[in-house]
Chain A
Amino acid sequence: MTLLNKSLKTLLITSLIAAPAIASAETAEEKGMRIAVEAKESDNGWQDMQANMNMILRNKLGQESIREIRMKSLEVNGDGDKSLSVFDKPRDVKGTAFLSFSHSIGADDQWLYLPKLKRVKRIASRNKSGPFMGSEFSYEDLSSFEVEKYTYKFIKEEACEGGTCNVVEQYPVDKNSGYTRRVVWLDQAEHRPWKIDFYDRKNSPLKTLTYHSYQEYKEKHWRADMMKMVNHQTGKSTDLTYGSYTFQTGLSDSDFNKNTLKRAR
């Protein structure tokens, strides 16, 4: 009894001492991963979403060009999301619609409906790293965030616009990625990204993305009204603004297939 008592006591004391030690034994990689998982989980359950997207492209001389897109997205548990985008501007691509099933690992499934040709074309390509509609955003930057797409490393805590941010490095798993790493600032309170630095294949600073005017939807889902991407190497930039966000409008799988793509206007 006393022996048992004694060992219980020892166990208790040991665990009390060890507990913080175990906590701090979490490596920077594990902590980075944990932050990513938390961020993903905090946004879970948005189900579906619709929004209007507006892009302003600028070159070094300040010349501008505008892109307008309507998009619908469907949350897919355990894999990348599905999305359907309809292009409104420039005028000559009006009505072109883009369907994508993004995947955590491997190439996404992509289809494009060309209204003039009246055909749906499947795009068979591993490339996600090129510019999206000539902008400074790549398709890779715009597709849904999935934990499996990166490996992680926690760097530090730092004050940021959203309070205190965790600064985490993310290393893309896909070898076709255009980046060696991204450095992400996520606030601790709501897990919102505030800034992402992108490093190119030779690990030189390539682009910086900043998030502006966050709005909360359905008391849980934070979305930025504006994202600014600046390319440090070319001096070009793109402003991406979102409007008319609506959540849980009752979209389902049947709204995201080749047939709906043709009908999307």
Chain B
Amino acid sequence: MKERLFRFVLDRPVWVILLSMLFVFGAAYGAKNLVFKSDYRVFFSEENPQLTAFESMQKIYSKSDNIAFIISPNDGEVFTPKTLKAIQELTTESWQVPFSTRVDSITNFQHTWSEEDDMFVEDLVLDAETVTNADMPRLKEIAVNEPLLLHKLISPEAHVTVVNVTVQLPGINPVEEVPQVVTKVREMKAQFIEQNPDITVHLSGMVMMNNSFAESSLSDNATLVPIMFGVVLLGMIFLLRTFSGTFATVIIIIFTIVSTMGLAGHTGFFLTGPSSTTPIMVLTLAVADCIHILTTMFYEMRQGVEKKKAIQDSLRINFQPIFLTSVTTAIGFLSLNFSDSPPFRDLGNMVAAGVMLAFIFSITLFPAMLSLLPLRVKQIQEGKNDFMHKLADFVVHNRKVLLPSMSAIMIAIIVFMPQNELNDDFVKYFDQTVPFRQATDYMQDNLSGMSTMEISIETGEASGINDPKYLHAIGNLTEWLRAQPETDHVNSLSDIIKRLNKNMHGDDPSYYKLPSDRELSAQYLLLYEMSLPYGLDLNNQLNVDKSSTRVIATFRNLTSTEQIEIEERIYAWFAENASSYDVEIASPSLMFAHIGQRNIVSMLLGTTIALVLISLILGFALKSVKFGFISLIPNIAPAAMGFGIWYLIDGQVGLALSVVAGMTLGIIVDDTVHFLSKYLHARRDRNKDPKAAVGYAFASVGRALWVTTIVLVAGFMVLAQSSFKLNADMGLLTAITIFVALVVDFLFLPALLMKLDKDKQPESTTQTPTNTNSPANTTEGDDNDSVKQIA
């Protein structure tokens, strides 16, 4: 069957090429369905409890997706007639933003005051055309003393202000809605700057963040994929010194990527930040198959074998290991299905499919192309081979030292693993080159952070919010929240009621307190609500029967751990001070704060299952339970060490890194498979002792492992350059893990094998020296002597 396939491929290469092209074009047709979903909600599965809580809160009150225009006049003063006029115009224009339902600014803030029995409810700046310099101190005084505005819409020094646009995305066409909004606000920004050249404008808010997910990832693919192609081209030409082979490999890569993405489009996948890295990952992984086939083929040709026969031999020798490594890699990526975050499941499935497609192309299209392309064999690069032999010598010589010292180093690195801190700060998902990050950092420095918590407090009784006991609880909560060191701003009903109470008593400041009568506050609110304009009502903080209110706290940008800690602190406050109310805390920041933890727990299971499956496959493939178990160490240790090293580099792990262990498992296993199978081949079929077998393994696959590792590390290092930190971190840690795996396989695994495997097969008397490992043979002899001496 296998042989028939190989013969068909080599006898009818043109057919194979045409069939492949037909398949790829058919698949590519599906790529048109592949769209980018720019919504942070895609990171959460439907059953995610924090998402469910947040969604239901949004249904009770109103959605809080927003765009913030951060306005900073270059003269450092917001309160000038000119700037206020600009802000008022921007406020009016903001109603034109698609899906906008609310616009808040210092100019349209509903200022209330009273004169005798007249109650005024008006825009703070009613008509910017008529305000003069003389009005400025009064307006500034009102704004910076208003708890609803201070730190949210106006900085204490009144040098930066925000026009906040709330949008209600219908979610019918999530692919187009966000870009539609962003296009409009960018136009507005450009127009604003043109008309007000002495004012700087930044754009932040959840909508801008959503948009950055798409833009960041897409621009990544536009720059990183070509770079990666360049790295592969150069790497292969330098390391393997073949143009034809490189050309054929590039074709395989392109066909694999195109068909993977096309099939994903056919089957209804959509792109997200993480899953958009599929092309780079597939690219990186597909190279390995080709390298293995090429190295064996060249080896055979150097031995004087004719090209077609060499290709056939290479296929025969590599079919099983390539198939095995493809399957294990696919299993590793499929373990991402255990992730709590759907984009990573998609990434896993897409890459797993890509890896299998790469395998199919590598054993069909690749040899078909090679058989048609001109291939010249160059003289063997002795220097390179020498290096592997030297390495083998070194390992065999120093095995007694290597085993304990490597063990010590590995353990020393692994102990740092638990030191990593959990953190998913979605602002920091983007590096400082991304405008959203710059804007948000700027906002954090001058006004407030992006970490919010929405606290819904339910009384269980219609109109219950007017109960003085309840209002006092809300008032105390608000004060307590403001006293927390992390707090930037609190938006609370209690502030409004206090202000109304003051207004109702002729603006007497001594009445700036909560009324002690239920009907009084109900009637104030009624009055106030009757006077509010379109879009500035209280429906965003009161539910329909006024049985609950939503307090929104904004904090400086916090780590996940800090956020979860504050969340617990708030619940504790309620338990102690207002235990009779139902409290729910939700927000996008909290969703991200919990996802890392949730994902780590779910990925732990996924990784374990993948490990068991892969070990079983290895056990079968190596036909040995013992070696199946031995392989566990070099398979598990690298990921653990990778996280240990990560602590020294960054120290913060989150959503993206929680999938790395499962993902890399399938890749690093390949090294072990290749090394162990060659070792066992030497032991069983060539009757070599462990030391000679180690030498044989180094000589036959050392170079291929070295080259594939370089390509893989280079590939993931390219990914590490992403401006989207989620992907960059994932790339960097994967690169580290893969490199560590090679070190473990070269320095630790052989020493371990020589230690554990030495008794079983005594010194073979019938040494059959072969031309491939003669240097190993000589060292072997020396070594035996030293062993005897020590013994």
Residues of A within 8 A of B (CB): 57-61, 63-65, 87, 90-93, 96, 98, 110, 112, 114-117, 119-134, 138-139, 176-178, 200-202, 204, 233-236
Q: How far is the CA of A176 from the CA of B531 in the complex (A)?
A: 12
CB distance from B102 to the nearest CB of A (A): 11
A-B pairs with the 8 shortest C-beta distances? A178-B534, A65-B545, A129-B534, A92-B522, A127-B533, A130-B532, A201-B95, A60-B59
Residue of A whose beta carbon sits closest to that of B115 = A124
Q: Bits for B524-543, please: 1 = Cβ < 8 Å to A, else 0.
A: 10110111111111110011
11 sample A-B contacts, Cβ–Cβ < 8 Å, listed by A number: A63-B544, A87-B526, A92-B463, A114-B527, A117-B520, A124-B121, A130-B530, A134-B537, A139-B530, A178-B534, A236-B539
Distance, CA A64 to CA B546, complexed state (A): 10
Q: Which residue of A lies closest to B168 (CB)?
A: A233
Among B97, B518, B543, find the residue whose CB has the most chain A CB atoms closer than 10 A. Answer: B543
Q: Which residues of B contact A64 (CB under 8 A)?
A: 544-545
Q: Are B534 and A117 in contact (CB under 8 A)?
A: no
Q: Is the CB of B534 within 8 A of A92?
A: no
B58 and chain A: residue at smallest CB distance: A60
Q: Out of B462, B531, B538, which one reaches A127, CB within 8 Å?
A: B531
Q: How far is the CB of A57 from chain B (nearest CB, A)?
A: 5
Additional A-B contact list (5), CB under 8 Å, known A122-B118, A130-B532: A125-B121, A127-B532, A131-B537, A134-B542, A234-B168
- Give the Cβ gap from B303 to chain A, nearest Cβ, in Å: 74
Given contacts A58-B544, A127-B533, A130-B537, contact A122 B119 (CB under 8 A): yes
The distance from the CB of B516 to the nearest CB of chain A, in whole angstroms, is 11
Residue of B nearest to A177 (CB): B534
Contact check, B534 vs A59: say whether CB atoms are below 8 A apart: no
- A129 proximity list for chain B (CB < 8 A): 533-535
**CB-CB nearest in chain A for B61:** A59
Q: Which residue of A lies closest to B119 (CB)?
A: A121
Q: Mark B167-190, 1 if CB is under 8 A from A, else 0.
A: 010100000000000000000000
Interface membership of B519, Cβ < 8 A: yes
Chain B residues whose C-beta falls within 8 Å of the C-beta of A127 in the assembled complex: 121, 531-534
Instruction: Give, as a whole number of angstroms, the nearest-CB distance from B191 to chain A.
Output: 16
Contact A93 B522 (CB under 8 A): yes
Q: How far is the CA of A65 from the CA of B746 in the complex (A)?
A: 72
CA distance A236 to B584 in the complex (A): 22
Candidates A119, A130, A134; contact of B533 at CB < 8 Å: A130
Nearest-neighbor residue (CB-CB) of A128 within chain B: B533
Which of A92, A122, A123 counts the most B-chain CB atoms under 10 A from its CB?
A: A92
Residue among B120, B535, B544 with max Cβ neighbours from chain A (10 Å): B544
Report yes or no: B119 in contact with A131, Cβ–Cβ below 8 A.
no
Whether A63 contacts B543 in the complex (CB less than 8 A), given A92-B518, A127-B121, comes out as yes
- Cβ of B101 under 8 Å from chain A: yes
**Contacts of B519 on A, CB cut-off 8 Å?**
92-93, 115-116
- Assembly CA distance A64 to B117 (angstroms): 34
Interface membership of B466, Cβ < 8 A: yes
A236 → chain B closest CB, angstroms: 7
Most chain A beta-carbon contacts within 10 A, residue among B530, B531, B532, B539? B530
Q: How many residues does chain B have at the interface if contact means C-beta atoms less than 8 Å apart?
A: 49
Contacts of A201 in B (CB 8 A): 95-96, 534
- Check A61 against B542 for contact (C-beta < 8 Å): no
- When C-beta atoms are compared, the residue in chain A nearest to B126 turns out to be A126
> Considering only CB atoms, which chain B residue lies closest to A90 in the complex?
B463
Residue B98 at the A interface, CB < 8 A?
yes
B100 in the interface (beta carbon within 8 A):
yes
A-side contacts of B527, CB under 8 Å: 112, 114, 121, 123
Q: How far is the CB of A225 from chain B (nearest CB, A)?
A: 23
Which of A110, A125, A128, A234 has the most chain B CB atoms closer than 10 A to its own CB? A125
Is B60 engaged at the interface, CB distance under 8 Å to the other chain?
Answer: yes
Q: Say yes or no: A123-B100 contact (C-beta < 8 A), given A63-B543, A64-B545, A92-B519.
A: no
Known: A65-B546, A115-B519. A121 touches B118 (CB 8 A): yes
Residues of B within 8 A of A176 (CB): 533
In the complex, whether B504 has a CB less than 8 A from a CB of chain A is yes
Contact digits for B544-559, partner A, Cβ 8 Å, 1 yes 0 no: 1110000000000000
Q: How far is the CB of B781 from the nearest CB of chain A, in Å?
A: 82
B463, A134: Cβ atoms closer than 8 Å:
no
Of B97, B121, B168, B527, most A-chain CB atoms within 10 Å: B527
Q: Given known contacts A93-B522, A234-B62, is B529 in contact with A131 (CB within 8 Å)?
A: yes
B568 contacts the other chain (CB 8 A): no
A75–B470 Cα distance when bound, in Å, is 43
Give the contacting residue for B539; candidates A93, A115, A131, A132; CB below 8 A.
Answer: A131
Residues of A within 8 A of B531 (CB): 123, 125, 127, 130
Give the shortest distance, in Å, between A52 (CB) and chain B (any CB): 19
Contact indicator A134/B117 (Cβ below 8 Å): no
Per-residue A-contact encoding for B463-474, CB less than 8 Å = 1, 0 else:
100100000000
How far does the alpha carbon of A200 sit from the alpha carbon of B535 in the complex, in Å?
Answer: 10
Indicate if B405 sits at the interface (CB-CB under 8 A). no
A-facing residues in B89-126 (Cβ within 8 Å): 95-101, 114, 117-122
- Point out which of B62, B463, B519 has the most chain A C-beta atoms below 10 A from its C-beta: B519
| B116, closest chain A residue (CB) | A122
With a cutoff of 8 Å between Cβ atoms, the chain A residues found around residue B122 in the complex are 124-126
**Chain B positions within 8 Å of A132 at CB level:** 530
- A112 cross-chain contacts in B, Cβ below 8 A: 526-527, 530
Q: Which residues of B contact A110 (CB under 8 A)?
A: 530
Q: How far is the CA of A168 from the CA of B542 in the complex (A)?
A: 36
Of B60, B462, B504, B542, which one neighbours A117 at CB under 8 angstroms?
B504
Over the window 48-83 of chain B, the binary record of Cβ atoms lying under 8 Å from chain A Cβ atoms (1 yes, 0 no) is 000000001001101000000000000000000000
Neighbouring B residues of A134 by C-beta, 8 Å? 529, 537-539, 542, 544, 546
**B523 CB contact (under 8 Å) in A114, A130, A234:** A114
Q: B548 — nearest CB in chain A belongs to which residue?
A: A63
Give Cα A126–Cα B111 distance, bound, in whole angstroms.
13
Judged by a CB distance under 8 angstroms, whether B517 is at the interface is: yes
A90 to B467 alpha-carbon distance, docked (Å): 13
Q: Pick the contact of A202 from B98, B520, B529, B543 — CB < 8 Å?
A: B98
- Using Cβ atoms and an 8 Å threshold, which residues of chain A touch B97? 202
Least CB distance from B459 to A in Å reads 13
Question: What is the CB-to-nearest-CB distance from B668 to chain A, in angstroms, rounded to a whole number?
Answer: 49
A residues near B542, Cβ cutoff 8 Å: 134
Smallest Cβ-Cβ distance to A176: which chain B residue: B533
Q: How far in angstroms is the closest Cβ of chain B from A206?
A: 9
Which residues on the A side are within 8 Å of B121 (C-beta)? 123-125, 127
- Quote the shortest CB–CB distance from A184 to chain B (angstroms): 19
Cα separation A110 to B530 with both chains bound (whole Å):
10
Partner of A61, one of B56, B98, B100, B538: B56
- How far is it, in angstroms, between the C-alpha of A202 and the C-alpha of B181 when the chains are bound? 12
Residues from chain A with a CB closer than 8 A to the CB of B118 are 121-122, 124
**Residue contact B537 to A124, C-beta cutoff 8 Å:** no
Distance of A133 Cα from B542 Cα, bound (Å): 12
A59→B60 contact, CB < 8 A: yes
Q: In the complex, what distance in Å separates the CA atom of A200 from the CA atom of B99?
A: 10
A134 and B523 CA atoms in complex are apart in Å by 13
Cα distance, A236 to B545, chains bound together (Å): 13
Complex partner residue of B534 from A65, A98, A138, A234, CB under 8 angstroms: A138
B464–chain A nearest beta-carbon distance, Å: 10
List residues of chain B with CB within 8 A of the CB of A119: 117, 504
Tell me whether B530 and A115 are in contact (CB under 8 A): no
User: Can you list, as one digit per residue, whether each of B760-772 has a CB less than 8 Å from chain A (1) or not (0)?
Assistant: 0000000000000
Interface 1/0 per residue, B307-343 and A, CB below 8 Å? 0000000000000000000000000000000000000
0 or 1 for each of B255-283: is its CB under 8 Å from A? (1 = yes): 00000000000000000000000000000
Shortest B105–chain A CB gap in Å is 15
Question: In the complex, are the beta carbons of A202 and B530 less than 8 A apart?
Answer: no
